[in-house]
């Protein structure tokens, strides 16, 4: 009786407290515990301090009646280079965005450029492609076009790449990025050696695999190559944008991942909800373009003008360089990728400089909720939140302990939250107009600070923190 009385008193005291922010009356959803019901969320010191069945008092009190409150989404595949491009995340409930596919060669200045300037949490992988570019003297700006694309490394170059990769991991790189389709000159030995370095730091390898159906090679072969490297080295593996790279072989590729997981291999994958991809026309993924049939060029769209290409215009623009949209998938195959329980959601988005780029940058998460969850009821809401928030946190948390407090909505977790109106949420961006803002997201909170409030971006507030692993001595 005495303990019961004390518990009641404690509960009464908690209810009487004033929180920094109280979000009351929302439908609160936590993909880890399965909680899905009306709760009242008390936020203090950047943390979720209280989840209550009765309304809470806050210095700022939000009435979230009729809205959904979930952990913020974690985008493991974001290429935005201007820190200000994180507005696209804040506008659709993304509270952390990381460049894990291509990564960067030197993380310290990259992180320094974002410290105190980011709306949402940020991070980047130690990047095999940029490290390879520096070691091999490839002058390209983002994806390799010279030696680092097509040439095998010398033994001395390989040693130097491993040394630089290790340096970045010691500094705290959260993961390692690979663009094997872009660095097609890399040997099996090079891939295995780089995975071995990653494995020593328990760092996941995020790989754009070789063997996309549009070009030379076979999907199963490209996937086998990286599964083998993961088995041999022990490094965790994330196969990026399987919707784009597996194409016609999507069912087979997902089956391979499922079976490898059943054998205890730590392999995960991700997808974005669009039938088209995007890349640079001058990059290595198009190395065999001259062998493609005439009809194939029609599937390529030049970003600057929106025109579909021909053999002649492709050749001309490839010499010039620039962004293209690649219309390569069917809605049925895309559904297989998005609806599989194996895939997390990751945008593969970018800056949309000059209003140009791929609509996934500004619409990925809105499209999942509007198209898959609400309109088609193809994906249960809780499953969508698991894919967008919990699974990405789990992917990184073995190496990055801070991720254990993200992707969940429970007491003690970080107050990174998405609050949206499921009846109104929708993506507006298109291939022709990719920079149209999504609708229906009401509040986005990062570390207990509003970066989106009442549907409007909050200016000059930068609560985003660095996502990285502890430094290794």
Task: State the residue for tokens 């754009």.
Answer: 208
Beta carbon nearer to Zn ion, 246 or 425:
246
Question: Least Å distance between CB 207 and Zn ion?
Answer: 9
Beta carbon nearer to Zn ion, 244 or 419:
244
Beta carbon nearer to Zn ion, 42 or 392:
392
Question: Least Å distance between CB 285 and Zn ion?
Answer: 8
The residue number whose beta carbon is nearest to Zn ion equals: 208
**What single-letter DSSP state applies at residue 263?**
T
Question: Least Å distance between CB 209 and Zn ion?
Answer: 9
Contact assessment for residue 32 and residue 394, using Cβ atoms and an 8 Å cutoff: no
Segment lying near Zn ion (by CB under 5 A), choices 29-37, 146-154, 207-215, 268-276: 207-215
Beta carbon nearer to Zn ion, 164 or 208:
208
- Residue 7: which residues within 8 A CB-CB, separation 6 or more? none
208 binds Zn ion (CB under 5 A): yes
**What single-letter DSSP state applies at residue 411?**
T
- Alpha-carbon Rg of the chain, whole angstroms? 22
Q: How would you classify residue 454: left for phi > 0, otherwise alpha for psi between -120 and 50, otherwise beta? A: left
> What Å distances lie between residue 169 and 17, 45, 172, 395, 401, CA to CA?
43, 30, 5, 17, 15
> What Å distances lie between residue 447 and 31, 70, 87, 409, 463, CA to CA?
19, 14, 16, 13, 6
Query: Footprint of Zn ion on residues 411-450 (CB under 5 A)?
Result: none
Q: 260: part of which helix (H) or strand (E)?
A: helix 250-262
Question: Least Å distance between CB 272 and Zn ion?
Answer: 10
Beta carbon nearer to Zn ion, 39 or 208:
208
- Dihedrals phi, psi of 472, to nearest 5 degrees: -100, 125
Contact assessment for residue 208 and residue 181, using Cβ atoms and an 8 Å cutoff: yes
With CB under 5 A as the rule, give the number of residues binding Zn ion. 1
Beta carbon nearer to Zn ion, 207 or 366:
207
Question: Least Å distance between CB 275 and Zn ion?
Answer: 16
Segment lying near Zn ion (by CB under 5 A), choices 79-87, 200-208, 331-339, 386-394: 200-208
Question: Least Å distance between CB 102 and Zn ion?
Answer: 7
Beta carbon nearer to Zn ion, 101 or 416:
101
Question: Least Å distance between CB 75 and Zn ion?
Answer: 14
Segment lying near Zn ion (by CB under 5 A), choices 67-75, 145-153, 204-212, 224-232: 204-212
Token pair, residue 277, equals 């991809």
Segment lying near Zn ion (by CB under 5 A), choices 104-112, 134-142, 206-214, 320-328: 206-214
Q: Sign of the CA dihedral 241, 243, 245, 246?
A: positive
Segment lying near Zn ion (by CB under 5 A), choices 205-213, 313-321, 333-341, 374-382: 205-213
Residues that bind Zn ion (CB under 5 A): 208
């Amino acid at each position: 009786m005495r303990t019961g009385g004390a518990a009641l008193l404690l509960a009464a005291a908690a209810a009487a407290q004033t929180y920094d922010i109280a979000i009351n009356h929302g439908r609160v959803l936590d993909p880890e515990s399965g909680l899905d019901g009306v709760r009242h969320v008390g936020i203090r010191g950047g943390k979720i301090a209280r989840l209550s069945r009765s309304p809470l008092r806050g210095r700022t009190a939000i009435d979230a009646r009729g809205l959904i409150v979930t952990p913020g989404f974690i985008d493991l595949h974001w290429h935005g280079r201007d820190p200000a491009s994180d507005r696209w995340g804040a506008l659709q409930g993304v509270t952390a965005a990381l460049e894990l596919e291509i990564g960067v060669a030197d993380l310290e200045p990259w992180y320094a450029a974002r410290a105190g300037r980011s709306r949402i949490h940020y991070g980047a992988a130690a990047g095999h492609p940029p490290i390879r570019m520096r070691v091999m003297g490839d002058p390209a700006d983002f994806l390799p076009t010279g030696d680092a694309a097509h040439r095998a490394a010398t033994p001395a170059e390989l040693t130097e790449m491993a040394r630089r990769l290790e340096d970045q991991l010691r500094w705290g790189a959260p993961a390692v990025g690979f663009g094997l389709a872009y660095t097609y000159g890399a040997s099996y030995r090079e891939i295995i050696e780089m995975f071995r370095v990653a494995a020593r730091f328990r760092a996941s390898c995020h790989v754009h695999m070789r063997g996309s159906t549009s070009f030379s090679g076979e999907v199963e072969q490209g996937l086998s190559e990286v599964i083998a490297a993961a088995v041999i080295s022990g490094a965790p593996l994330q196969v990026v944008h399987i919707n784009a790279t597996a194409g016609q072989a999507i069912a087979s590729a997902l089956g391979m991942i499922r079976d490898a997981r059943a054998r205890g291999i730590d392999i995960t994958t991700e997808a974005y909800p669009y039938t088209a991809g995007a890349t640079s026309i001058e990059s290595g993924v198009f190395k065999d373009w001259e062998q493609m049939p005439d009809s194939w060029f029609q599937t390529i769209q030049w970003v600057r003008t929106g025109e579909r290409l021909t053999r002649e215009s492709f050749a001309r623009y490839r010499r010039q360089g620039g962004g293209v949209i690649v219309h390569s998938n069917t809605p049925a195959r895309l559904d297989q990728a998005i609806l599989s329980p194996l895939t997390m959601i990751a945008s593969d988005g970018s800056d949309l400089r000059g209003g140009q780029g791929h609509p996934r940058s500004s619409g990925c998460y809105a499209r999942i909720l509007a198209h898959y969850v609400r309109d088609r009821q193809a994906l249960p809401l809780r499953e969508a939140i698991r894919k967008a928030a919990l699974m990405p946190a789990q992917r990184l948390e073995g190496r990055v302990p801070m991720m254990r407090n993200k992707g969940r909505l429970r007491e003690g977790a970080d107050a990174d939250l998405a609050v949206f109106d499921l009846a109104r949420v929708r993506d507006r961006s298109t291939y022709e107009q990719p920079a149209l803002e999504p609708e229906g997201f009401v509040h986005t909170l990062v570390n207990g600070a509003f970066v989106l409030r009442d549907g409007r971006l909050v200016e000059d507030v930068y609560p985003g923190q660095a996502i990285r692993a502890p430094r290794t001595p």
